[in-house]
Structure 1
């Protein structure tokens, strides 16, 4: 079957279709170069998208959280949906760039602003990472294929009126990257996904530019354009030449993760240093350094920090100041050496940054106080790794940074009431901290090892908690369905019984037994089903059969109804597994009621028309008697003596609404307080999302940390679980709003701890600079 779903026809994007297009004025040789380049770029783009799914799937498979995994899956979906538009948009840009080669510029878009470190924030860090990635990609192409690109640009300049350089060359790496970014502008993906897509663009498009430039140069030489310029033959990329066929998964994600590791580090750290310089004398005290003070090396600083690390206090108090401790050690070292020794400027900036980060961490209300003390002991190991490796500040995937974030994320649900000595999470965090304090000297590999161990531990805990959490949700949803079915049954019973006076046995049978049949039918088939209507009809027939009726035709209706009614009752109660002993008692009493009903009809025949009695009695033939007998009702063949009085059944008037309670359920509590619909507290409740962590202030001393696991819409219940997945709290929307109103609930920020700390430090430094 022929399909062009993934093909972008060049004729559709070529401006030659426009009668006013200037592309017709391009030399034929340049038009041929354009068409061949476009064909190669189109093929390369298709290879990119063919492999993007596999790469993003690999990244999703390696994700450390559900949110991260969902981000990759959403990116895969977004990329599939917009693939065709991106391909078309990219090629359209290429054709437009060629079309403009013989046009004078009326105006051009403003160049991208240079990254301003004055406005550095985590959001601008995204733009910084993107800019660094693009610069790196372009630099690699220029380094590898610079001569061929330069020759191609020179040949273009010999053929067109517009002055070109390598950056404005339509097939130069700078232009191609800009075209691709512009075509991808509709993708709503995070920066990490965008960087992966850019890396794929580099791998599948930019890596083959050597071939494109070589073929373009050869085509122009053959057309007589500057043949004296000699270009080297294209060098094939061995990794691409031996690449696996499309559709084969490779370990692309590992390559992509590593490629950006060291790029842009100096720019980010330099920006932080610039912000720090503005804070000296205010937040950061100025050190009075002797004029002849000699800065110590980073190695000497590491030795001092290791000395402090071995003697770190078991509990980090609020007044612990790492800078002061280090200053004391340096003072003693200076006195011993007879010469003033100080920390170098770069290392001092690192110390100040880490100190400010930990000030935020130890002040963070999201972390439980008992675990905060443990995490505070990591300050010296984290400072040491930052001195060794400045990517600590710029790389979100840095093992030390990730370890800190993972510990904080795991600690989010840890309650102060948990037994620290017996709690496995507390013990694991304590083990990690102690291992770093004991074993970390100057090899950061230990952070990767501990991160892998900790992720394995939390992964096991998470799987167990997610399983229990799912069971909790399933149970609550089942309870909600049962509660809704119970309300439907209550309504059906009250509509038929409320205000009526009926035999007590019938009222009990409907309330205690048939209500269970209705419940089961409602849950299995729903209230719109034929089965539900049949169960209601059986209940209606039963009520009618025990009521007093004077009209003559009622006797025949009762006679026809009873066999089918009793059969439906028996089958329904059997399907609900109702107690057989109680069922037998009910049917015995029901049989007596029906016998009495037939006898009442017999006695109620008018005496003045005795001739009517014979036909009426004759209507109950042997076949009907047999049907009644089969149903369990034996009618006497002879009339009862006139003196015999039929004992009337015990009657009961249903005056109160029937309320069905679940096993163990108590009657409804007092009504909750009511708040207006636009009350701010209700809006806070509506903004709660499943998965959000909150802290309830139960009383002055006790707090409960729990996660919103489910919102059960039929009942309006909000179900909260602890970190093990066990249900610990249940609230209604209004109940939660009341708690918000009295400030008894606090939302816990589950964003990455280090990132929040860095954002706070940057924000504070920027404020100081602007003050």
Structure 2
């Protein structure tokens, strides 16, 4: 598809690199000095913030923050220079100039003391995105046209919110900034950006359009760059991709707003939704099938059931309220055995009716009440079949059964409206509990907070949905931290995987070089041992540090060739030539031994062993086998997911193309060879092997696989593209599948 500038379909295109350089110049002229202008307004704001504090430690806090600000002022020139470098680096990333040097990316973990700084940067990026969304959307399409002309995949806007947040975070990354001062720094930087970005973005959009890169189409939704694990997609310092849960929550709130209850407000009022009507029709067919089977199992000739009075919704709600605060062990036991919860709910409601003076043999539930019971039972069963929930979580959910029965009776919008307060609380509790083994203080705190949320609902819910909103807000505040930890966990998994791939790739390259030297001519044992140990290790280290195209690697290869030649000289008995050759090689050999971690004394000893092996012309010389293949570090992981070992993979070409098109941030459902299903997100695509790193909802590594391997899983029916972003939606899908299967069986 050709992309023409808006307002000028036939305007000639300027060479894209010239356009990028002009944008870079504009950006640096407009934004390059921002860090230097922050300190005075920050100091004024700092004084105002402390003046209103009557606490006895206010002067001490002011002194500490002023001292930290004074230190920042002393580093003013460094900050401006570093910030300008970071802004310029965004353009290098756009042009993929740094891809070949990605080996210099730090593979370590982010220091815990810096996490809040990075998280503040994420919030800053989101605020800029919100304030300038229209201009950024236009710019995204036009920059996509520039990338297309350069033959590049979609890349990050070099002056977008992500990049500008990254630049600021990296500028102060090495500084010790107290929390109050950090807040003021980011606030002032945001104000400074807001004052400049409107005009800058307008100029850049005009420049792109006038240069022939006006884009009439929007950039494809979800398009993300394929890149090594540098950090985040939100901004380089923290992690590449938004977690699916947090992104979904932002989009849902933006598109749907807050929950609006049924207008009637009357008990039992249900939304006139086609989706809910369809769900209830499926439920009725499923329940009728079960009743028919039960009647057939009971045999013919049974007396008809006498007519019973149907309970009103208000009566069932009263019974549920009576039982709500009582121990929920019966529901916990029912959740341990799928399919028993609905019967347990009916038994408990009948028992509660008896305690209120209603004879269970003379009353029955209405169709709406039966629907509410079955829907809640199927919902909770589906949650437990979809997530890894521990025994403690089962008791937590059991407490929520009766409150959710009351919600289902009075507001069935819960089943079709994603912003419903009860629904959002269940999502939050499941997010806190799924896969949580309480192994860390953070995990234990999450479980405690989730338990407190459920207990609060039990204690205070009386048909006012506000309690669900309050409980959700309290739990979600902690979940925000959990989501950030998950993002960091996924980044660490990506960095570890990238580091391992780089090491394996370097070993394979070094082994290829080594094989060509030891295969011919015949070599003495001393030379072959040296080449296969110290020299091979030196090759690997040089490849990792300098790269294949570096002068250092060429020199390392030349050392191996020189030793092979020295061995040939020794075999010919040319002692004088051998001595001269070894003297010339001595500094290079010592450096090679040093890269293996040998101290000078050990290096001298190893050199002596090598020389001793060369001084005898008649020493036996042989051809040598290539080094053994590297052991697959991922063998156990692959055995869990891939069947057939080294057998050829089988897949449909169209499925392969679909797998190859998957981008970071997309979710899949995987089923291992034991039949266990897990949700997995593509967190990263390797620039070396194009393999995909898949992590679970906790950010932990699940599988690293090629597009071909994913295609074979999909062909075998053990991979589904896409999964519901929330626990409630996933449970609803499982519920529908269960109803479909039930109707088919009956």
**TM-score, length basis structure 2:** 0.50
Question: Do residues 404 (structure 1) and 426 (structure 2) align?
Answer: yes
Aligned partners of 1:470, 1:733: CA distance in 2, in Å?
Answer: 21
1:736 Cα deviation after fit: 8.1
Report the 3-state secondary structure (helix = DSSP H, G, I; strand = E; otherwise coil) of the residue aligned with 1:548.
Answer: helix
What is the 5 A alignment of 1:741-752? 749-752=723-726
Match of 1:349 in 2: 368
Q: CA deviation at 1:484?
A: 0.9
CA distance in 2, matches of 1:727, 1:665: 11
In the other structure, the counterpart of 2:588 is 568
1:673 aligned residue (635, 639, 646): 646
Preserved CA contact (<8 Å) 2:682 2:692:
yes
Aligned to 1:31: none
Structure showing greater radius of gyration is 1
Change (3 A) 1:765 1:730: closer
Change beyond 3 A, Cα 1:743–1:768: closer
Asked if 1 retains the 8 angstrom alpha-carbon contact of 2:279 and 2:736, the reply is: no
Structure 2 CA distance for partners of 1:727 and 1:651, relative to 1, 3 Å? farther
- Give the distance between the partners of 1:703 and 1:83, measured in 2 at CA: 38
8 Å CA contact 1:697, 1:745 repeated in 2: no
Q: Which runs of structure 2 are paired with 1:409-428 in the superposition (5 Å)?
A: 409-414=431-436, 426-428=447-449
DSSP-derived class of the 1:269 partner: coil
- Using the alignment, how far apart are the partners of 2:586 and 2:275 within structure 1? 85
Look up the SS of the partner of 2:527 in the other structure: helix
> How is 1:273-672 mapped onto 2 (pairs within 5 angstroms)?
282-283=285-286, 296=312, 298=314, 300-311=315-326, 313-314=328-329, 315-317=332-334, 318-321=339-342, 322-323=345-346, 325-326=348-349, 329-330=352-353, 335=358, 349=368, 352-353=371-372, 355-363=374-382, 365-368=385-388, 370=391, 371=393, 374-387=396-409, 389=411, 391-414=413-436, 426-548=447-569, 563-574=583-594, 577-589=597-609, 648=617, 650-659=619-628, 672=645
Deviation digits for residues 602-640 of structure 1 (CA, Å, limit 9, x no counterpart): xxxxxxxxxxxxxxxxxxxxxxxxxxxxxxxxxxxxxxx
Any idea what the Cα deviations from partners look like across 1:62-81, whole Å, max 9, x if unmatched? Answer: 9x99xx99999998688425
Shift of 1:535: 1.8
What residue in structure 2 maps to residue 200 of structure 1?
Answer: none
Structure 1 distance, partners of 2:497, 2:491, is 10
**Separation in 1, partners of 2:286, 2:431:** 29
Q: Residues of 1 paired with 2:740 and 2:713: CA distance? A: 37
Aligned-partner SS, 2:523: strand
**Aligned twin of 1:754:** 728
What is the CA–CA distance in structure 1 between the aligned matches of 2:129 and 2:743, rounded to whole Å?
35
> CA contact under 8 A between 1:675 and 1:734: conserved in structure 2?
no
Partner of 1:261: 260
C-alpha distance after superposition, 1:680-731 (max 9, x if no partner)? 999698799867576776879x999987765657468776667655557777
Task: Give 2:76's aligned residue.
Answer: none
Match of 2:206 in 1: none
Q: Hey, what's the Cα distance between the residues in 2 that align with 1:761 and 1:589?
A: 73
Change (3 A) 1:423 1:745: farther
Q: CA deviation at 1:378?
A: 2.0
TM superposition shift of 1:492: 0.9
Q: How far does residue 519 in structure 1 lie from its aligned partner after superposition?
A: 1.4
Pairing 1:672-751 to 2, within 5 Å after superposition = 672-678=645-651, 692=667, 712=686, 714=688, 725=699, 749-751=723-725
CA gap of 1:549–1:512, structure 2 versus 1, over 3 A, is closer
User: Against the structure 1 CA distance between its residues 73 and 732, is the aligned structure 2 distance closer, same or farther, given a 3 Å change threshold?
Assistant: farther
- Alpha-carbon spacing, 1:311–1:320, altered in 2? closer, same or farther (3 Å): farther
Shift of 1:475: 1.9
> Using a 3 Å threshold, how does the CA distance of structure 1 residues 648 and 259 change in structure 2: closer, same or farther?
closer
Q: Do the aligned partners of residues 706 and 433 (structure 1) sit closer, same or farther apart at CA in structure 2, a change above 3 Å counting?
A: same
Give the whole-Å Cα distance in 2 for the aligned partners of 1:461 and 1:395: 25
- Deviation per CA, 1:446-473: give whole Å up to 9, x if none: 2122212322333333333432332232
Give distance in 2, aligned partners of 1:749 and 1:654.
Answer: 56
Task: Quote the Cα distance in structure 2 between the aligned partners of 1:730 and 1:430.
Answer: 35
Structure-1 residue corresponding to 2:95: none
Which ranges in structure 1 are unaligned for 5 or more consecutive residues? Answer: 10-60, 85-183, 191-250, 597-646
CA shift at 1:399, angstroms?
2.2
Seen in structure 2, the aligned counterparts of structure 1 residues 769 and 187 have a Cα distance that, compared at 3 Å, is farther
Give me the whole-angstrom Cα distance separating, in 2, the residues matched to 1:496 and 1:6: 57
Q: CA deviation at 1:334?
A: 6.8
- Cα distance in 1 for partners of 2:128, 2:670 equals 26
Write out per-residue CA displacement over residues 112-171 of structure 1, whole angstroms, 9 at most, x where no aligned residue. xxxxxxxxxxxxxxxxxxxxxxxxxxxxxxxxxxxxxxxxxxxxxxxxxxxxxxxxxxxx
Contact 2:498 2:686 survives alignment (8 Å): yes
Displacement of 1:443: 3.2
**1-structure distance, mates of 2:739, 2:632:** 60
Q: Could you give the per-residue CA deviations for residues 408-460 of structure 1, whole angstroms, max 9, x where no partner exists?
A: 34444358x9899x966555544433332233233322212221232233333
Distance 2:527 2:677 in 1: 52
- Name the SS for the 1:378 alignment partner: helix
Q: Name the SS for the 2:387 alignment partner.
A: coil
1:496 CA drift (Å):
1.2
> How far apart, in 2, do the equivalents of 1:714 and 1:567 lie?
34
Shift of residue 261 of structure 1?
3.1
CA 1:526/1:592 → structure 2, altered by over 3 Å: closer, same or farther? Answer: same
Shift of 1:486: 0.9
Q: Structure 1 688/412 Cα, relative in aligned 2: closer, same or farther at 3 Å?
A: farther
Following TM superposition, by how much is the alpha carbon of 1:677 offset from its aligned partner in structure 2, in angstroms? 3.8
- The Cα shift of 1:479 comes to 1.5
- The 8 Å contact of residues 278 and 768 in structure 1, kept in 2 or not, is answered as no
